[in-house]
Structure 1
Amino acid sequence: MQEELLNSVIKITKNRDIDSLEYSLISTIQEFIGCDEISVFKDLQVPGELTVELSLSLKLIGKSEFEWGERTLIKNPPPELLSCLQSACIITVQSNDGVERRWVPINLHDKPVGAIAIVSKGLKSSDQVLLNAFCRIFENYLTILNENERDKLTGLLNRQTFESKLKQLIEKQVLKQHRGVWNEDNRKKHQAACSWLAIMDIDHFKRVNDTYGHVCGDEVLLLLAQKMKQYFRATDLLFRFGGEEFVLVFEPTSYEAIKAKMEGFMELIRTTHFPFVKALTVSVGMSPISPYDFPITVLENADKALYYAKDHGRDQLRFYDELVAEDLIQSNQEQSDIDLF
């Protein structure tokens, strides 16, 4: 038993990203404790409101069959979960049929950021000790991984995590396509929407640093990052790529909706008062993400659109596909063919 427990700790702590860490935690709890359902909930830390996400779940659907649940936002979190997040205490509720629901808080820097939810026929005291121990190991390692995944200045995701996060999003798209379980209305909506990648660059940011100093420049970056967190969906991936460059990855959305959303953010930045800087604008290049794209290809496409925007007046949004269709830039595929020959 001791050797098995040691191996389980090794299994949990060998992960190098938070998503894999969650899978390891759930599978380890199921292996040693055995539950009808295990879920990981996250407070997405949206400024000014409590936004809860079901990050991952595992449900027993037969004697030995399990079903993994997909990431989704929780519109109406159960009161026990809210109480757990607000009090940072374990909450336990038992129904008349003996089914126990237990919420265990997960803390980051002494602040609750999520919870592990367990549904079982009642946990023995030894199982409770194991559950708490696994959650504390998860909590400690989560602190390390979170620091490694985040930009130190803005708190956004950093460049090192970009490829793995985008790969996960693309893999989910492929999985949904292969499942083929949508009704006709959902299928039409999916065909009209796709994921998007945007590269955003602060216009003339070097001038800000040169004129007012790097401390002012950092304040500008911090405020911009705060505006991004407040404006975009909690499920959108926001990265700082370094300097004044940011990358945003959006879940499936129609062209019209993503264009309106991005233009709305650009207008917000135009009307925001930044420290020492009277006016600030951003340039944006965007590219759709197909289920079979390589992350580097999507990034290059958006980068081409960004540089077109910067070379033609700045403070504008440009789409890679539109620029190629209008023969304003050369597609990366054509460029590769030319380079090859």
Structure 2
Amino acid sequence: MQEELLNSVVKITKTRDIDSLEYSLASTIHEFIHCQKIAVYKDLQIPDKLVVERSVALEEVSDKEFEWYERSIISEPDNELISCLQSACTITVQSVDGIERRWVPISIQERPVAAIAIVSKQMSSGDQVLLNAFCRIFENYLTILHENERDKLTGLLNRHTFDRRLKQLIERQVVKKHKSVRSADVRKLHNDATSWLAVIDIDHFKQVNDKYGHVCGDEVLLLLAQQMKKFFRSNDLVFRYGGEEFVLVFEPTHFDAMNNRMKEFMELLKNTKFPFVNNLTVSIGMARISPYDFPITVIEKADKALYFAKEHGRNQVRFYEQLLADGEIIEPDVEDSDIDLF
């Protein structure tokens, strides 16, 4: 038993990203503490509102079978879950049939950020101690990973995390395409909703730093990051890519909806009062994320669209595919490319 526990701790701390850590925790708790269901709920830290995501869920179907559920936003969280996230206290509710529901808070720097939800028959004292130990190990390691994945100034995901997340997204799209797409559906796929990548660059940001100093520049970056967190959907990923450049990865949507949303965001910035800056604008380059793209290819396409926007007046959003179709930019032939694949 002791050897198995040590191996489980090794397995939990072997992971290098938060998603894998959550899956490892859920499977470990299920292995050592008999429970009917275990789930990880996260507060997505959206300013001024509570948005809860169920990032991992594992349910026992029979004695030897269990089922994983995909991540999803919880539209109406249980009151006990909300209380757990707000109070950072463990909450336990037992029904008349002996089924116990328990919510264990997970905190980073004394701030509750998640809750582990367990559904089981009444736990023994030994199982409760074990559950608490697993949750504290998870909490400690989550703190380390969180610091490694986040930009220290804005709290957004950092560039290192972007590379991995985009690669994972493309891999998931490949799996979905193999499951659902037939050769006759290719034309339909082109017109369907797809994921998008945006590169956002603050116009004339160097002038802000030169005129008002880097402290003011940092305040501008911080306020812009907060506005992005508020405006975009909780499922959309927002990264600080470097300096005054940000990258966003969007859930599947159609071109018109994506175009309108980005224009609404630019209008929001137009009406936002930034410190010392009267009129802050951004230029945006957009590109589709296709299942068989290389991550570097997607970012290069969005960068080309961004460069076009900045060269043609700034304060605008441009889509790579539209520029290509209109002949505004020319896609290089693979044979003429300077990139060495091997």
Residue 288 of structure 1: aligned partner: 288
Query: How far apart, in 2, do the equivalents of 1:208 and 1:335 lie?
Result: 39
Q: Counterpart of 2:244 in structure 1: which amino acid?
A: E
What are structure 2's unaligned runs of at least 5 residues? 182-187
Distance 1:321 1:217 in 2: 33
2-structure distance, mates of 1:180, 1:322: 27
Q: TM-score, normalised by structure 2?
A: 0.94
The residue number in structure 1 matching 2:40 is 40
Q: What is the aligned partner in structure 2 of residue 200 from structure 1?
A: 200
- Aligned positions, number: 333
State the partner residue of 1:330. Answer: 330
Q: How does 1:229-308 map to 2 (within 5 A)?
A: 229-308=229-308
TM-score for the superposition, normalised by structure 1 = 0.94
* Residue 10 (structure 1) shift: 1.1
Shift of 1:168: 2.2
Looking at structure 2, the residues matched to 190 and 29 of structure 1 have their Cα atoms a distance apart, in angstroms, of: 43
Choose 290-299 or 260-269, whichever is displaced more.
290-299
d(CA) in 1 for partners of 2:282 and 2:333? 27
Q: Which secondary structure state, in structure 2, belongs to the residue aligned with residue 100 of structure 1? A: strand
Q: Distance in 1 between matches of 2:166 and 2:60?
A: 29
Question: What code does the residue aligned with 1:101 have?
Answer: R
SS of the residue corresponding to residue 34 of structure 2 reads: coil
Residue 190 of structure 1 contacts residue 252 of structure 1 at CA under 8 Å; is this kept in 2?
no
Q: Structure 1 117/48 Cα, relative in aligned 2: closer, same or farther at 3 Å? A: same
- Secondary structure of the 2:165 match is helix
Structure 1 residue runs of 5 or longer lacking an equivalent are 182-187
- Corresponding residue of 1:185: none
Question: 1:292, CA displacement in angstroms?
Answer: 2.0
Match of 1:184 in 2: none
- 2:337 aligned residue: 339
Partner Cα distance (2:333, 2:109) in 1:
48
1:157 partner SS: coil
The AA in structure 2 aligned to 1:258 is M
1:1-341 maps to which residues of 2 (within 5 A)? 1-180=1-180, 192-331=192-331, 334-339=332-337
Stretches of 4+ aligned residues off by more than 6 angstroms: none
CA distance in structure 2 between the aligned counterparts of 1:316 and 1:190, rounded to whole angstroms: 25
Q: Distance in 2 between matches of 1:160 and 1:195?
A: 20
1:275-304 deviation line (CA, Å, top 9, x unaligned) = 111111000000011122221111111011
Letter in 2 for 1:338: D
Change (3 A) 1:38 1:110: same
> 1:85·1:114 contact (CA, 8 Å) conserved in 2?
yes
